[in-house]
Amino acid sequence: MKRFLFLILLFLAAGCSAQGKLYWRAKDFVLDRSSTVGLRGRNEQIVWTIPTRTIQEMTLAHLRINRAANIQTDLYIVEGDEPNAFATFVNGQRVIGVNFGMVRMIGGEVNEHAALISHEAAHWAKGHVDAGQTRTHTLNAIGTLVGVGLSAAGVPAAGLISGVGVDLIDSSYNRDEEREADAQSVEYMLVNHYDPGAAIRLHEKFLKAAPGFRLPFLSSHPSGEERIQNLKALIEAKKQER
């Protein structure tokens, strides 16, 4: 329920406030030739910068994992400083969102980006997101979210999401769903030659950061020492199977 309320607030802010959340589709920026990508918001101002290599590696990992999971999703970079990632519907399209804070926390660790994306993809592949979709609480036409794309990449109005209709989803996964997603995400990583141990390192980062402030991500994806030990066992078992 906390996750559901968080999404309501997030998308209401995006549609009704000048300070609302902005979204940028990652694949619209992969062809940029500069060392950093400037994500532009309303009035053309640069809201945030991200290394071009990071956005390229995230997009490549997302493409590979989509293929392994046999799903179709879009990857979006989302405004927000407290680390978070989520899966939701935007205009009927399946989306994996990763916000500024999460990108910053992971930095240039491509395997950790792959671990995060694999886990969210596994929730889609296993039907967990669809099961939590709250169809009676859909926001239609919540406004226009504008992020101006890079002209250097030849992408007109990249980052533009107009007339967004968002299905709000209770994405607070139960323990069995988390275990199932963990197991499937390890498989996706191994198939695509990413280091599954990065999932452990990522959860260790969550635990280290959590005492200072509550991460939104942890309200829907609980972490802990038990989770880390389960991941270690899963990874070892998957490696032995191969």
How far is it, in rounded angstroms, from Cα 51 to Cα 142?
31
Helix axes 52-69, 110-125, angle to 10 degrees: 30
CB 93 within 8 A of CB 71: no
Handedness of CA 30, 32, 38, 40 (dihedral sign): negative
Length of the chain: 242
Q: How far is CA 30 from CA 142, 185, 201, in A?
A: 28, 24, 26
Residue-wise pLDDT tens for the chain (242 aa)? Answer: 434 333 433 433 332 222 357 999 999 999 999 999 999 998 889 999 999 999 999 999 999 999 999 999 999 999 999 899 998 887 788 999 999 999 999 999 999 999 999 999 999 999 988 776 643 233 332 233 323 333 333 433 344 443 344 444 445 678 888 889 999 999 999 999 999 999 999 999 988 876 655 666 766 676 678 889 999 999 999 888 87
Alpha helices in the chain (DSSP H): 2-16, 52-69, 100-106, 110-125, 128-132, 175-191, 197-209, 216-220, 225-241
Domain that holds residue 138: 2-241
Q: How much is the pTM? A: 0.77
Identify the burial level of 63 via C-beta atoms within 10 angstroms of its C-beta, where 0-12 means exposed, 13-18 middle and 19 or more buried.
middle
How far is it, in rounded angstroms, from Cα 40 to Cα 130?
32
What amino acid occupies position 51?
A: P
How far is it, in rounded angstroms, from Cα 166 to Cα 213?
28
Q: Residue 25: name the closest of 201, 155, 217, 133 by CA.
A: 155
* Six token digits for residue 206: 């969550």
Phi, psi (deg, nearest 5) at residue 109: -80, 90
What is the residue-wise DSSP string for 127-181? Answer: THHHHHEEEEEEE-----B-----GGGT-TTTT-B-S--EEEE-----HHHHHHH
Give the pLDDT of residue 15. 29
Give the pLDDT of residue 158. 41
* DSSP assigned state of 105: H
Q: How many CB atoms within 10 Å of residue 14?
A: 23
Q: How many CB atoms within 10 Å of residue 131?
A: 12
Q: How many domains does the chain have?
A: 1
